[in-house]
Amino acid sequence: MENQSLSQTMTVKDWLVTFLISAIPLVGIIMMFVWAFNGSTNLNKTNWAKAGLLMIAIIFGIYLLFFVVLGGLIFGGSMSN
């Protein structure tokens, strides 16, 4: 019975509540971790949260790489003079 509730399709109301909670700063990130790694969360929401966390990690990595390269160009060039 529990397995069936985990794989049921989420309703529009469920998705609206999910999106509203995930839009709250800091609370949304924490809830995405809870939804992604909690065994009793709906599988649709679990996969969505894992994909969202992966996208956040990828974007954070790209920003970090960009700022490291940009910082190296700005500060590395001025120190050699």
pLDDT in tens, 28-80: 999 999 999 999 999 999 999 999 999 999 999 999 999 999 888 888 765 55
Is 0.85 topped by the overall pTM? no
Average pLDDT over residues 15-35: 96
Q: What is the pLDDT of residue 2?
A: 56
Q: How far apart are CA 38 and CA 67, in angstroms?
A: 34
Report, as an integer, the average pLDDT of 10-38: 96
35 near 21, Cβ under 8 Å? no
